[in-house]
Structure 1
Amino acid sequence: MPTARVIRVHAFGPPEAMQLDRVELAPPAEGEVLLRQTAMGFNFIDIYQRRGTYPLPSGTGLGHEAAGVIEAVGAGVNGFAPGDRVAYMNAGLGAYADYRNVPAAKLVRVPDSISDEQAAAVIFKGMTAQYLVRHTHAVKPGDTVLVHAAAGGVGQILCSWAKALGAYVIGTAGSPEKCELARRIGCDVAIDYRNGDWVKAVRDATGGRGVRVVYDAVGKDTFLGSLDSAQQFGLVVLYGAASGPAPAIEPELLNKKGCLFLTRPSVFPHNADPDTFRANAKDLFDAVTAGHVKVEIGARFALADVAQAHIAAEARATTGAIVLLP
C-alpha cells in the first residue's frame, strides 16, 4: 500500500499550523476504496476548522472534497472498480491528501465531459449551489435573486445556474475586478459593496421592490442589509459566515421588514444518503456539461503549499475556486 502525504492540524492557528505528515495506509476496509487523488478542493470552512472556529481533535486532517482514480476496492464494494474516475464530498475530513481510503457510498462517478480539476473544484461548492437553487428555493423564470460574494466559488455557480434557470441575478463583490467577473458569469447587475450603499443599489436595480431571494454566505457584514434587500414575503437564505456569524435578531424584525422568511440550511442534510447524493450530483454535472454552471478555477497550489492557498483565500486575493494538486 502507498505511503500517503496528508495535511493535518495538530494545533489550531495560522496557516503555518498545518503540517504535511506521511501516513502508511492500510488496505481498503470493507465498503471502502483506495483513491489516488488527482485534485483536491478548497472551501472556506477549511479555514474555520484550521483556526479552531469549528474545533477539531488534534491531528485531524482537513478538506471535504476531492477527485481521483480508484486504485483498489475493499470487500463488499459494488458498482466501482480500479480505474474508475470518481469524486466525493463529506467523506469525513482528510481530503488534503494524495492517497486516501474512502467509503464507496460517498463516491460519485465523474463523467468524461468533466476533468478531475473541475470535479474537485465543483463537487462541494456545486452541491451547495444545487440545493440552494433546486430545494431551498426552486429558482424559476422571472425570479429576482441577490447573491453575495458573487465572484467566489459558490457565488459563481449560484449566479450562472440561477441565470440559466431564468432569474434576474444581482451579485455583490468586493472590487471592480470581481464585479466584472460576476457580470461575465451571469449577473445582470454587479454591485461593489465596498463602494457606496449597496442596499440602495439593490433596491434601485429592482425598481424599489427588492429581490425574491437573497443568498447570503457572508454573514455578519451583510445579513442586516440582506433583510433590507428582500421584497415583501421574500426569502433570506443564510448559508455561510465568511465575515463572521450573523447578528442575532428578534423574530419580530422579520415581520417589520416585510413578513420575510429566513432559513439557515446546510449541504450535508440535503445529501445524507447515497441515492440522493448521486441524483443531486448528476443534476450538477448535467448543468456543468450543458454550460449552465461555469466553473472558473482561480488558483492552483501544490498540496505541500497549502498554507499559501489559505493565506490567499483569507486575503480575498483570489477569484473563483482554489484547487490543490498532489
Structure 2
Amino acid sequence: MHAIRLHAFGPAENLTYEEVQDPAPGPGQVRIAVTAVGVHLLDTALRLGRTGPFPAPAELPTIPGREVAGTVDALGEGTDPSWLGKRVAAHLGMAPGGYAERAVVDAGRLHALADHLGEAEAVAMIGTGRTTLGILQFTELGPDSVAVVPAAAGGIGTLLVQYAKNAGATVVGLAGGPEKVALVKENGADLAVDYKLPDWPDQVRAFLGTRSATVVFDSVGGATGLAAVDLLGKGGLHVVFGWSGAGLHDGEPLTFTDEELTARGITSESVLGPVMIQKAGGDVRNLELASLAAATEGTLRPAVHRFPLKEAAAAHRALETRGTIGKVVLIP
C-alpha cells in the first residue's frame, strides 16, 4: 500500500509518499481500506515534534493521522464477522497510522455509516464534529443568544455557525478574505465580516445596535480574539479552544485575570482536554455518535477541503497558512 511517512521532525516537505507493507489486524481489530483521512491542525504540530493533547511520536518513521473512513476489508481473530465489507469511520485514538491506503483499528472504535453519508463528511464529523459538540456542551444557545465565531470558515467554525443558527441564535462569523466571508454568509451567519479589515469590530457593533455578544467561540486568540471578546456584554461567555491567531505553533491562548474578568463582567472557560471528556460523561464516543447522527440527519453539514493523499505536504502547508476552507481531508 501507499502511505505518508515522517522520517524526521520538521517542515511539511518531510512528509513523504511511500510504498509500505500492508498492516495486519490483531485480535479484536479490523483493517480499513481507507477512502478518506482527516487532517487536523494538531498534525502540523506533531510533525514538528511538539507535544499537545497527543504526544509527539516516540519513534520515527511514523505514519501520521488519526481519523479515517472506508470499508472493512480484513478482520483480526475474534472480531465480529458482521463488520467485514461495511462502510465505517473511526478515530484511531492515541495510535497514528491514518495517512495511508489501509489502517488498523480496534473494532470497538468503529461507527457504521449510513448509505447517504460520504466518507469524507464522516471523517470530518468523527474528529472535528465531535470536538464541536464537545465545545457546545459548555453553553446553551437560543433566540436570545448572540454568538461570535472567529475562524467561521474552518472545520469547527462551519459547524458552530450551523448549530447556533439551528438554535435560533444571532450569529456573527469572522473569516479572512472575501471568498471565506461569502462562504460563511452562505453557511447561515446573520453577519459575516473580514477580520483582516481594521474596522471589522465597528461593522459588528453597527449590525448589533444596542445588543452585545453573549458568547465568543475563540479558536484564534491574539488580537482578533481580544477584539471579539470586547464585543461581549455583561454576563457574556468566552469559550477558548485554540489560539491559532496568536502564532500557529508558538502562541498562547487568550487568558484573563480574575480582576479583568470581573471588570468586564464576563466568564472565560478553556474547554479542551480532560474537562471536555468529563463533560461528555467520560467517553468521547458519545460525542462521535451525536456528531455522526447530526450529519446523517442533515442538521450539521461539514465543509470539506480535499487533497490527494500524496499531497499531504501541500495540505499541511495550506493549513499552516490559513489557505483552507472547512475540514481538510486526504483522499487515497
TM over 0.5, yes or no?
Answer: yes
- 2:86 and 2:205 map into 1 onto residues whose CA distance is 49
SS of the equivalent of 1:61 reads coil
Identity, % of aligned positions: 34
**Deviations 1:82-122 (CA, angstroms, capped at 9, x unpaired):** 11111122522221111111112222221122011211233
Equivalent residue, structure 1, for 2:271: 265
2:2 aligned to which of 1, 5, 21: 5
Distance 2:272 2:253 in 1: 15
Aligned match of 1:280 in 280, 283, 287? 287
In the alignment, structure 1 residue 14 sits paired with structure 2 residue 11: yes
Distance in structure 2 (CA, Å) of the matches to 1:132 and 1:275 = 15
Name the structure 2 match of 1:118.
121
Task: Return the offset for 1:305.
Answer: 1.3
SS across alignment from 1:136: coil
> For structure 2, which runs of at least 5 residues remain unmatched after alignment?
none
TM-score normalised by length of structure 2: 0.87
Structure 1 residues 188-197 or 75-84, which shifts more? 75-84
Give the AA of the match of 1:311. R
Distance 1:317 1:250 in 2: 34
Matching residue of 1:291: 298
Task: Pick closer, same or farther for the CA change 1:94–1:138 going to 2, 3 Å.
Answer: farther
TM-score with structure 1 setting the length: 0.89
- Contact 2:125–2:295 (Cα < 8 Å) also in 1: no
Superposition pairs for residues 51-90 of structure 1, below 5 Å? Answer: 51-54=48-51, 55-57=56-58, 58-78=60-80, 81-90=83-92
User: Structure 1: any 5+ residue segments left out of the alignment?
Assistant: none
Shift in Å at residue 214 of structure 1?
Answer: 0.7
1:44 and 2:41 equivalent?
yes
The amino acid of 2:45's aligned partner reads: Y
Checking the alignment, whether the CA contact within 8 Å between 1:90 and 1:268 is kept in structure 2 is: no
Partner residue of 2:135?
132
CA pair 274-257 structure 1, distance change in 2 beyond 3 A: closer
Deviation at 1:160, TM superposition (A): 1.1
Question: Contact 1:216/1:222 (CA < 8 Å) preserved in 2?
Answer: no
Code of the residue aligned with 2:27 in structure 1: it is E
- The aligned counterpart of 1:250 is 257
Corresponding letter in the other structure for 1:196? P
Correspondence list, 1:169-184, <5 A: 169-184=171-186
Shift of 1:296: 2.4
Aligned equivalents of 1:158, 1:52: Cα separation in 2: 30
C-alpha distance in 2 between matches for 1:221 and 1:93: 34
Matched position secondary structure for 1:60: coil
Partner of 2:194: 192
The answer on whether the counterparts of 2:49 and 2:57 sit within 8 Å (CA) in structure 1 is yes
Note the C-alpha offset of 1:148: 0.7
Look up the equivalent residue of 2:241 and give its one-letter code.
Y
Whether the aligned pair in 1 keeps the contact of 2:89 and 2:123 (CA below 8 Å) is yes
Tell me how far apart the structure 1 counterparts of residues 212 and 91 of structure 2 sit (CA, whole Å).
35
* Distance in 2 of aligned mates of 1:296 and 1:81: 28
From 202, 205, 228, the counterpart of 1:203: 205
**1:29 maps to which residue?**
26
Give the aligned residue type for 1:287. A
Higher mean Cα deviation, 223-232 or 199-208? 199-208
Kindly tell me: are residues 166 and 43 of structure 1, through their superposed partners in 2, closer, same or farther at Cα, counting changes over 3 Å?
same
The Cα RMSD (Å) is 2.5
Give 1:228-243 correspondences, 5 Å limit: 228-243=230-245
In structure 1, C-alpha distance between the alignment counterparts of 2:276 and 2:86, rounded to whole Å: 25
Shift in Å at residue 142 of structure 1? Answer: 2.7
* Structure showing greater relative contact order (alpha-carbon pairs closer than 8 Å, 6 or more residues apart): 2
Aligned to 1:321: 327
**SS of residue matched to 1:263:** strand
Distance 1:6 1:192 in 2: 37
Equivalent AA in structure 1 for residue 119 of structure 2: D
How many aligned positions are there?
Answer: 320
